[in-house]
Structure 1
Amino acid sequence: MLVKSADAAQPQAPRFPLSTPEFVTLIALLTALTALSIDIMLPALPKIASALGATTDNEQQLVLSVYFAGFAVGQFLFGPLSDSYGRRNPLLFGLALYTIGTVLAVTATSFAMLLFARAFQGFGAAAPRIVAIAVVRDRFAGREMARIMSFVTMVFVIVPILAPTLGEAIVQFSDWHIIFWVLLGMGLLATLWSGVRLPETFHQSDRLPFTARNIWAACAAVATTRQTAGYAVALGFSFGLLFSYIITSQQIFVDVYGLGAEFPIAFGLIAAFLAAASIINAKLVRRVGMRGVSHRAILGGLAVCGVMAAFGFPDKPPLWAFGTFMAAVFLCFGLMSANFNSLAMEPMGHIAGTASSLIGFYTTVAAAALGTIVGQSFDGSVRPLCIGISVMFAATLATVLVTERGRLMKHCDAPDVKVRAA
């Protein structure tokens, strides 16, 4: 049975052993495992595919796509588990699965075995991603949650800046298997840090029995709450443009622009604009609000795409022009994503785990599907990526307009949705 209260319940922060910097850093590590597991692989994809018998260049993208698929399925499970059994146990269980998947990847002797290991790895990585967001929602709400998530993102974006460079160094001076040993070390660090320092943040009295009826009620709450469902769909489109870039970036910078060993530098420079977006968002969100920041970012992204469209989406614009385009896209994406996620989670305080999992599941499936479509459309030029990004910005705007009933940058308090145990 669903009950909507008139006032949004603010989570009550218990006495907490972690300082804000340590809390932000740990949450960033948990959410960054997936980014690390993707970005560190990019320079190594051709060697991995060649060593394990992949037959086509585009087939190497499956190393990323199957990870996203496992990640999506895992999110669907770990959210309800964390609403029923608390945050810690599902988190530690998922990290254990991630570790096992990483060991399987290290020992893979065929491309099919590696794909299985990557899917397993992605399944386990869903737990830290889902639980981390639920823990933040347990302790914060509204603009304060958006501000904390901006700080998390600031730490998080160090990963896409440094990971490709680390991956390139490993490929140049050692064996690609070392990449998975690095991932194994990060997984063990996350497990030990969480196990020793992170307390339980979800009170026993708020937990829902793990029953089909309660899970269905929570799913219905997510799907029928206009703000949550609408911004989840918008988040899917916005992550779709990110995944499209990640999946095709190695081929674009190496095959189209011939950067070779300089690819990680270009990738990192563009990713740095995510950090800039996080800093800007943390400063603006308290004053302008989540809608004010994110809605302006959508319009900015469309304007940038309009410039590219005015030149007819060229096959190979100058590297500086393409880099500037992607930097602007990343800046707008960074201003959208943290706020979209916070807006979607705002009414979901009492089912934060399930809501986070459903939002994450949809977002990952949608983004992986969109990214795969764009990736498989790669034809030796940047045109498919630029057109795909433009379409996804337009779809994001349309979704937000429907969600906000045709009005942008309008504040509206969302009631907290509660699910009573059946």
Structure 2
Amino acid sequence: MRDSSTTTQASPTLHIVEFIALMALLTSFVALSLDAMLPALNQIGEALQADSLQQVHLTISVFFVGMGVGQLFFGPFADAMGRRAAILLGLVIFALGTVVCMSATSMDMLIVGRIIQAIGVSGPRIASMAIIRDIYVGDAMARVMSFIMMVFILVPMLAPIVGQLVLNAFSWRHIFTLFLIMTIVVGCWFFARQPETLRKDNRRPFRWKKLYASCLRIFRNRTVMGYTVAMGCIFGSFLSYLSASQTIFQTFYQTGDNFPYYFAALAFAVGLASFFNVTMVMRVGMKRLCRIALYGVISFSLIFTALIHQWQGLPPLWVTIVTMFCGFFFIGILFGNLNAMAMQPLGNMAGLGAAIIGSFSSLLAVPIAISIDSYIHTTLYPIGVGFMIFMSLAFLAVNFAERD
């Protein structure tokens, strides 16, 4: 596959601060759509007469199934029609899904709305990544990605708190009203300020035959696929925590309305890791940082599992928070760097590449998360053991990607 260094880069047109803020908001639609709902899961289950706790958790995990499908569409679309068209179309679809969720009368209808939302949010997620790749490469790209992660980490920190406030003042349906307002504001900002970054002579017209050939080239690239599998394993473990976080904090630990603050504290660990990455990635390099973080996250999973065993399945809340904070710090380092390293060889195939990377890692992560969550009943054993197994598999996948 052609090395990305031969690709003509687009020139930045926005001030770096505005560019980072805009890209961070576009990519944060995923976090907003997931985390603002968390405090309302019990009320949603009761209002829509959910069959089980697992069906309620499905409103979180199924989101990534929709994203997996959406990314496969928006990747080629972004390469053929341009980044702006992909983002604007995605925001429209996301808004339609939000309206379906607002008017849901059953869990099935809500899940359909969530899938539509997820398909739509794939447009901004994929195309914003491609815009960044159009302008930046290598360690500079990783640095911008880390800045973006540092900005949009405020969303998972604040979204559950905002969701709880909306829930207290209105109802769970108005959380989706918040999504709709943000869609309109960010869409107008993007439309007015960010020009197209993919030149017409670099676009790839959509043809099934070419799509198939491009997919084969990407799937046969050991570096891309190794890092992508690693991301899927890491994200699947993290998604198992995310889907069950309300159950863990409000049911196991009885934190009540304080749940969003504990959730925010752990989200801060990822933001802190991103800040650390910004300062170190240009000095140390992506690969070395990832290697250190992988050793750290495997050590965390072993220690956490041992602590769960020590306290017969449920350590004190402060022990869980401190241990998870350390583990999530290492995960935060891995998220931005692994994605940047997987995108590095893709050149003008950035849109399709981002689609396959995002889709494949998401579709791998969802069954991992569902399988771990299916064992969560009264203890944290499944979380600890799940992290231990899949972080080790991620380590093997990175070794495969970097094998000479």
TM-score of the alignment, normalized to the shorter chain, above 0.5: yes
Asked whether 1:233 is paired with 2:229, we answer: yes
Alpha-carbon separation, structure 1, partners of 2:304 and 2:120: 39
Q: 2:188 aligns with which of 186, 192, 215?
A: 192
Contact (CA 8 Å) 2:308, 2:314: kept in 1 or not? no
Alpha-carbon separation, structure 2, partners of 1:105 and 1:202: 34
Task: Name 1:251's counterpart in structure 2.
Answer: 247
Alpha-carbon separation, structure 1, partners of 2:52 and 2:382: 19
Q: Deviations over 1:25-84 (max 9, x none)?
A: 111111100110000000000101110111222221121122221111000100001111
Q: Indicate the structure with greater helix content.
A: 2
Task: Name 1:389's counterpart in structure 2.
Answer: 387
Asked whether 1:30 is paired with 2:41, we answer: no
Alpha-carbon separation, structure 1, partners of 2:8 and 2:17: 20
Contact (CA 8 Å) 2:307, 2:315: kept in 1 or not? no
Task: Name 1:420's counterpart in structure 2.
Answer: none
Q: What's the RMSD between the two structures over aligned residues?
A: 1.4
Q: Deviations over 1:301-328 (max 9, x none)?
A: 1112222233463410011111112111
Asked whether 1:356 is paired with 2:354, we answer: yes
Identical columns (%): 36
Asked whether 1:134 is paired with 2:130, we answer: yes
Alpha-carbon separation, structure 2, partners of 1:191 and 1:312: 45
Task: Name 2:17's counterpart in structure 1.
Answer: 21
Q: 5 Å matches for 1:250-289?
A: 250-289=246-285
Alpha-carbon separation, structure 2, partners of 1:353 and 1:267: 32
| One-letter amino acid matched to 2:247 | Q
Task: Name 1:410's counterpart in structure 2.
Answer: none
Task: Name 1:300's counterpart in structure 2.
Answer: 296
Q: Deviations over 1:248-289 (max 9, x none)?
A: 110000111010111001000011011110011011111110
Asked whether 1:12 is paired with 2:31, we answer: no
Contact (CA 8 Å) 1:316, 1:381: kept in 2 or not? yes
Alpha-carbon separation, structure 1, partners of 2:210 and 2:125: 22
Q: Which moved more, 1:336-345 or 1:60-69?
A: 60-69
Task: Name 1:318's counterpart in structure 2.
Answer: 316
Contact (CA 8 Å) 1:65, 1:368: kept in 2 or not? yes
Q: Which portions of structure 1, spanning 4 or more consecutive aligned residues, are displaced by more than 6 angstroms?
A: none
Task: Name 2:365's counterpart in structure 1.
Answer: 367
Contact (CA 8 Å) 2:308, 2:384: kept in 1 or not? no
Task: Name 2:43's counterpart in structure 1.
Answer: 47
Asked whether 1:166 is paired with 2:162, we answer: yes
Deviation of the 1:8 alpha carbon: 2.4
Q: 1:75 aligns with which of 71, 81, 101?
A: 71
Distance 1:11 1:299, change over 3 A: farther
Task: Name 1:415's counterpart in structure 2.
Answer: none
Deviation of the 1:405 alpha carbon: 2.1
Contact (CA 8 Å) 1:10, 1:141: kept in 2 or not? no
| One-letter amino acid matched to 1:44 | A
Unaligned runs of 5+ in 1: 407-422
Matched residue of 1:201: which SS? Answer: coil
